[in-house]
Amino acid sequence: MKRHGAMVHRLAHGSFKAVRRVRLPLAPPKNSQESELIGLSGGSMNYIGSKLSLLPQISRVLDLSDVPPYGIALDIFAGTGVVSQLLKARGHTVYSNDWQYYSYLTCAALIECDSIPEFEKLLSDYEWGMRIREATSSTSLFPTCSYGSGKRFMSGSPATAVLSYLSRLAGEKGAFYEAYCEGGSGNRQYFSRENGMRIQAIRDQIEQWSKDKLILGAERAWLISGLLEGADKVANTASVYGAFLKHIKKSARKPLQLYAIDPVRSTDATAQHRAFCADAETLLRKLREIKLRLIYIDPPYNSRQYNANYHILETIARWDLENFTPRGVTGLRSADENVSEYCSKRHVENAFRRLFQLANAEFVLFSYNDEGLLPREGLEALFSDYCTDIAFYEIPYRRFRADSNGENRNYKRDSTHEFLVLGRLSATNDTQTESAYLHRTPALA
């Protein structure tokens, strides 16, 4: 690693390791690549723990490191996928994983797609091609699509036509509308009546095209993730989906827009990027034979489970209301679905230790903060036990507020410190040779 300001720090467990302690300012992005990434569509959601505003620091930490900008990088808790995009732009073959299905679909759209889909099969179908073209040739239509970075998404493209067709569908009633929207039988109002009925119609149509094999897996992921981003913008919540508001707020009355996800292009045309929807530990067991260059670990840091906070997005993504009955006033999904050990003070340390033991990677980069369930000393001990060449970066950071007006929460502090810890995983077996870095696609079920 590039040496600057190295100092020896006594870590827990009595060992001495060379640890570089660096305070990074939360500065505006420096170079155009970073600015472009931050402006990209996809990942713009106000998501707990999103690293969107930390991308410049993550990028800088990698630039200061010895991590080569190629080989497989696994973003194992990918959330919105913004760090996966950064790693893709950096030159890595990216494996992106999250066990929430909405996140998986978003990452599939951002990572597995290398350009905006063409919808060839759908548009070459005689009936659908006519219908979509007819609907989109009308001029008296309100703008419905957001064009992401706007650079590559041309009006008149096949994707514009498909998004325009979907966004003009007449709203309809159905299981999602009834369970979660204003006027529905579930008495919940996560969405206004109009937006709820449009979400129902659009998501039904995407599912039907998929069942009829008129759209491919990546096209389905691209359409659903564009719907998720749009739905999140007009949700009638304070921010997350743990509760809905009693009255429909102004922004929730705005018409739903569909988002055009604009994927980052690969620097290496042969790279086989992959999105996974798996428990982190289970995935590492399956990937054991594959040597990773880097594993980026950005786990939940407190006891707030993502399954409860984003259950509505999960249901829009899975579209599986025939399989469960929404629970209670807020309409949660099954109580035992995706309950994370990383959100439990009792389990978190052992869960992290297992991840480090299972990781067949050369480098590990870990995001955490000073209010995490595992205290700073525990994090240092973890790195001390499994890594060498440790660099500990500390960044002052504005707190994520679930309720942006802060009325319902009594925060002790407005800011917190983010940690970025980079280390070289100690070699555990003789598979850790350069030849093992060949880009290979894992044989996963």
- Region of 59 (left: φ > 0; alpha: ψ -120 to 50; beta: rest) is alpha
Ranges assigned E (strand) in 205-332: 258-259, 274-276, 292-297
CB 360, min distance to ligand SAM, A = 17
Nearer to ligand SAM, 204 or 279 (CB): 279
Q: Which of 65, 64, 115 is nearest to 88 (CA)?
A: 115
- Rounded-to-integer distance, Cα 33 and Cα 371, Å: 31
Using the Cα atoms of residue 265, residue 267, residue 269 and residue 274 in order, give the sign of their dihedral.
negative
CB 39, min distance to ligand SAM, A = 16
Residues 419, 393 contacting (CB under 8 angstroms): yes
CB 280, min distance to ligand SAM, A = 4
Tokens of 227: 């719907």
Nearer to ligand SAM, 98 or 232 (CB): 98
Bridge-based pairing of strands 274-276 and 258-259 is unpaired
Q: Which of 208, 193, 203 is nearest to 226 (CA)?
A: 203
Tokens of 31: 């170079």
Nearer to ligand SAM, 103 or 257 (CB): 103
Q: How many residues are present in the chain?
A: 445
Nearer to ligand SAM, 56 or 196 (CB): 56
Name the phi and psi angles at 19, rounded to 5. -125, 130
| SS3 state of residue 18 | strand
Nearer to ligand SAM, 120 or 320 (CB): 320
Tokens of 192: 């206004």
Q: Specify the amino acid at residue 190.
A: Y
CB 187, min distance to ligand SAM, A = 28
Which residue has tokens 């594993």? 295
CB 341, min distance to ligand SAM, A = 7
CB 147, min distance to ligand SAM, A = 22
Nearer to ligand SAM, 82 or 132 (CB): 82
Tokens of 15: 């060992």
Nearer to ligand SAM, 99 or 209 (CB): 99
Which residue has tokens 């009925």? 197
CB 10, min distance to ligand SAM, A = 29
CB 367, min distance to ligand SAM, A = 7
Q: Which of 231, 174, 163 is nearest to 201 (CA)?
A: 174
Nearer to ligand SAM, 38 or 113 (CB): 38
Nearer to ligand SAM, 100 or 146 (CB): 100
Residue ranges that bind ligand SAM, judged by CB under 6 A: 47, 49-51, 77-80, 82-83, 98-100, 103, 279-280, 298-300, 306, 340, 342
- Rounded-to-integer distance, Cα 34 and Cα 435, Å: 31
CB 303, min distance to ligand SAM, A = 12
Residues 378, 342 contacting (CB under 8 angstroms): no
